[in-house]
Amino acid sequence: MSEPEISSTSDFIRDIIREDQKSGKYDGRVHTRFPPEPNGYLHIGHAKSICLNFSVADEFQGFCNLRFDDTNPIKEEREYVEAIKEDVHWLGFGWDDRLYYASDYYEQFYAYAVQLIQHGKAYVCDLTPDEMRAYRGTLTEPGTDSPWRNRPIEENLELFEKMRAGHFEEGSKTLRAKIDMSSGNLNMRDPVIYRILEAEHHRTGNTWCIYPMYDFAHCISDSIERITHSLCTLEFEDHRPLYDWFLDVLGLYHPQQIEFARLNLSNTVMSKRKLLRLVEEKQVSGWDDPRMPTISGLRRRGYTPESIRAFSERIGVARRESLVDIALLEFCVREDLNKRAPRVMGVLRPLKMVITNYPEDTVEDLKAINNPEDATMGTRKVPFSRVIYVERDDFREDPPKKWFRLAPGREVRLRYAYFITCVDVKKDKETGEVSEIHCTYDPATRGGDSPDGRRVKGTIHWVSASHALDAELRLYDHLFTKEDPEQGDEGSNLTAQLNPYSLERVSSCRVEPSLAGAEPFSRFQFERIGYFSVDPDSTDTKLIFNRTVTLKDSWAKIEKKQQQKSKK
C-alpha cells in the first residue's frame, strides 16, 4: 500500500493549469466539469473527482459544470440523476445554472456525425458485433478493414438517416469513424460512434433509436461547454488520441484532456456495476447501506462532508495508481467528529448496578461536559439515581492482571458522578450469569473528584436505569475482509469475499435521556464506544444509531509503519 500524497494546492494538474494561465492558453480561463453517468450512485472515488474538479475551478476563479453523461439509455435512470445531484450538493459544491445533460446535445452530435460522413471520415458498417470483434485484431495483430469501409458518402448519408428513422434492427448497423484499422491503439481502429438501441431514454423518451458512444459524445460535450481542462481517470489515457481526433477532424474548440489516477480504497470495491450487484442481490440494504463506499452510504453512516473533502485533499492527485488504506478515511472522520460531535453516554450491553447506600427516591442532575475539545459546546445535565446500567464488559468477576475497571472489591469512577466500590454480585440461578452488581458510593466524590487525593485507575460510563432510553446500536466493520477483494482467483466471486461480520446489530442498548428526539443524521460520540449517527429509520420509540467509526485510531499505527519503512 502506498502512502498518499499530502498536498492539495500543488500537484501536476494545478501545475499544468498555472502554466496554461501564464501562457494565456484559453485566455487564462479555467472551466472544468464533473461528468457522471447516471447509472448508479456516486462513491468515494467520484468524491475525489468532484472535489478535484470543483476545487480547481474555485481556486483558479473558474467554473465547474455538472454534466450528466447520459448516452446509454439501458442502464440509466432518473433516480440516479437525483441522487447524484443530492450527493454533489451535500459534499458542499454547487453548479448554479451550469447543469447539463449530454442528451441535450443529441441533435448536435447527430449533425457532427453527418459532418464526419461528409468529410469521408465515417461510414455505416453492417458487420455484426461478433464479426466486428473478429475484424478488430488484437494488441499484437492489426485489424482488418470492414468490407463496408469504402461505402460512398451518399450511401452512408442515406443509411445513417435511415438508422435514425428506425429502419434497421438493433445490432444490424453501426456508424464508425474511419481512422486506422492497423493502429497500435485499439481505440483508433475505426471505433463505433453510433449504435442502434431500441430503448427509451429517461429524458428523450422514444425520440431516438440511435445513441452516440461515450468517446464521441464526451469530447463534443466538453467542446460545446467550452471546458478548458477535462480531468478524467487514467483508463482514458488510451482514449485521448480519439478525443483529439474527433475535435480536430471536426475543427471544433479543443479542451485539454488530463488523466489522473483513480482512487482505490482497501477493503471495498468501487465500481458502480459491482455495487449495483450487491444492492440487487440484497447483500446490503440498498445504495445507502452504511457499509457501502457510496456517498449516500457514508452519509448514513455519519460521515461529514468536511471529512470526505479533507480525505480527498490528503490523498491528493497523482498519475500513479495506488491503494489507499480505508483507515485513512476513518481517520479523517474521526478527526472531524472529535472536534464537533457532542459526547453522550450509552451502554451497549447493559449490566444492572444497584448503589445500595444511595437513597431510593433521589435523582440528581449531574453536570457533564459536552465536548472537552470545544468549551463553547457547554455542559448538560445527566440524571443519576440508585439503579443504573453499566457496560457488561466493564465488569469482571475474576479480573486479569492490569484490569482497572470494575471487579469485586474494586473502586472505580463513574464518569461525572461518584467513586463506587463493588460489594456484591448477583447471579441468575439457572444460567449462572451475572445479573446485577451491588456497589456503594462515596458521597464525597460527587462529580468524580476525590477530596482526599485518593486515586482510581478506571473510569466507566453509565446511564440511570429509570431515565435511560432504549436504543439499537449498529456496529459496522469493513464490507470485505480482504484488503483488495478483487485481486487473485477469488476476486471473480465477490459475494464470497464479503465480510460476514460487517454488521452487528446490538438491540436493547440503553442511552442517556438527552438523546430523546435526536435528529436523523445527527452525530454523537458515545463515550468510550465510538462515534455514532442517528439512522433515518430511527423513531421516538425506537432509537437507532449507526457507528460511524470506533475511537481507536488504526491509521496512526499504519502511518508510523510506513514512515519506518520509508526510512529504511
- Residue in the shown chain whose Cβ atom is closest to ligand ATP: 45
Interaction residues for Mg ion, span 370-429 (CB under 5 A): none
| 37 carries an active-site annotation | yes
Burial class of 112 by CB neighbour count within 10 A (0 to 12, 13 to 18, 19+): buried
Which of 164, 272, 309, 547 is catalytic? The answer is 272
Smaller CB separation from ligand ATP, 312 or 464: 312
Which of Mg ion, ligand ATP, none has residue 276 at its interface (CB below 5 to 8 Å by kind)? none
Question: How do strand 379-384 and strand 387-391 relate by DSSP bridges?
Answer: unpaired
Smaller CB separation from Mg ion, 15 or 237: 237
Provide the minimum distance between the beta carbon of 330 and ligand ATP in the complex, in angstroms, as a whole number.
Answer: 18
Provide the minimum distance between the beta carbon of 326 and ligand ATP in the complex, in angstroms, as a whole number.
Answer: 13
Total residues at interface with Mg ion (CB under 5 A):
1
Name the strand (E) or helix (H) holding 16.
helix 12-23
Name the strand (E) or helix (H) holding 20.
helix 12-23
Name the strand (E) or helix (H) holding 136.
helix 129-136
Which of 262, 352, 392, 396 is catalytic? The answer is 262
Which of Mg ion, ligand ATP, none has residue 45 at its interface (CB below 5 to 8 Å by kind)? ligand ATP
Smaller CB separation from ligand ATP, 275 or 333: 275
Evaluate whether 444 touches 451 at the Cβ level (below 8 Å). yes
Side chain identity, residue 402: K
Residues that bind ligand ATP (CB under 6 A): 35-37, 45-46, 48-49, 232-233, 262-263, 270-273
Smaller CB separation from ligand ATP, 232 or 345: 232
Q: Residue 395 carries which DSSP code?
A: B
Provide the minimum distance between the beta carbon of 202 and Mg ion in the complex, in angstroms, as a whole number.
Answer: 17
- Residue in the shown chain whose Cβ atom is closest to Mg ion: 37
Query: Under 8 Å CB-to-CB from 74, ≥6 apart: which residues?
Result: 197, 199
Where do the H-state alpha helices sit in 166-239? 214-224
Q: What does 503-566 look like in DSSP terms, one character per residue? A: EEEEEEEEE-GGGTTPPTT-EEEETTTEEEEE-TT--SSSEEEEEEE-S--HHHHHHHHHHHHH
Smaller CB separation from Mg ion, 37 or 86: 37
Interaction residues for Mg ion, span 2-41 (CB under 5 A): 37
Provide the minimum distance between the beta carbon of 230 and ligand ATP in the complex, in angstroms, as a whole number.
Answer: 9
Smaller CB separation from ligand ATP, 317 or 344: 317
Provide the minimum distance between the beta carbon of 225 and ligand ATP in the complex, in angstroms, as a whole number.
Answer: 14
Beta strands in 75-146 (DSSP E): 99-101, 122-125
Tell me the C-alpha distance between 193 and 185, whole Å: 16
Smaller CB separation from ligand ATP, 91 or 366: 91
Which of ligand ATP, Mg ion, none has residue 33 at its interface (CB below 5 to 8 Å by kind)? none
No. of helices (H) and no. of strands (E), the chain: 14, 27
Which of ligand ATP, Mg ion, none has residue 46 at its interface (CB below 5 to 8 Å by kind)? ligand ATP
Which of ligand ATP, Mg ion, none has residue 48 at its interface (CB below 5 to 8 Å by kind)? ligand ATP
Evaluate whether 296 touches 41 at the Cβ level (below 8 Å). yes
Provide the minimum distance between the beta carbon of 49 and Mg ion in the complex, in angstroms, as a whole number.
Answer: 11
Sheet holding 419-427, edge to edge: 459-460, 411-414, 419-427, 434-442, 350-355, 387-391, 462-464
Rg of the chain's alpha carbons, rounded to an integer? 31
Question: Residue for cell digits 444511595?
Answer: 358
Which of ligand ATP, Mg ion, none has residue 149 at its interface (CB below 5 to 8 Å by kind)? none
Provide the minimum distance between the beta carbon of 21 and ligand ATP in the complex, in angstroms, as a whole number.
Answer: 23
Question: How do strand 229-233 and strand 530-534 relate by DSSP bridges?
Answer: unpaired
Smaller CB separation from ligand ATP, 325 or 535: 325
Which of Mg ion, ligand ATP, none has residue 299 at its interface (CB below 5 to 8 Å by kind)? none
Which of Mg ion, ligand ATP, none has residue 174 at its interface (CB below 5 to 8 Å by kind)? none
Smaller CB separation from ligand ATP, 52 or 417: 52
Which of 3, 5, 37, 200 is catalytic? The answer is 37
Cα angle 377, 380, 383; round to 5:
160
Taking the CB of residue 234, how many other CB atoms lie within 10 A of it?
Answer: 13
Which of ligand ATP, Mg ion, none has residue 35 at its interface (CB below 5 to 8 Å by kind)? ligand ATP
Tell me the C-alpha distance between 565 and 553, whole Å: 19
Please tell me whether residue 91 adopts helix, strand or coil conformation: coil
| 262 carries an active-site annotation | yes
Provide the minimum distance between the beta carbon of 37 and Mg ion in the complex, in angstroms, as a whole number.
Answer: 5
Tell me the C-alpha distance between 545 and 229, whole Å: 42
| 391 carries an active-site annotation | no
Angle between the N-to-C axes of helices 554-567 and 326-340, in degrees from 0 to 180, rounded to the nearest 10: 130
Provide the minimum distance between the beta carbon of 64 and ligand ATP in the complex, in angstroms, as a whole number.
Answer: 12
Where do the H-state alpha helices sit in 181-325? 214-224, 240-250, 272-280, 295-301, 305-315
Sites of contact with Mg ion (CB under 5 A):
37
User: Which residues form the catalytic set?
Assistant: 37, 262, 272
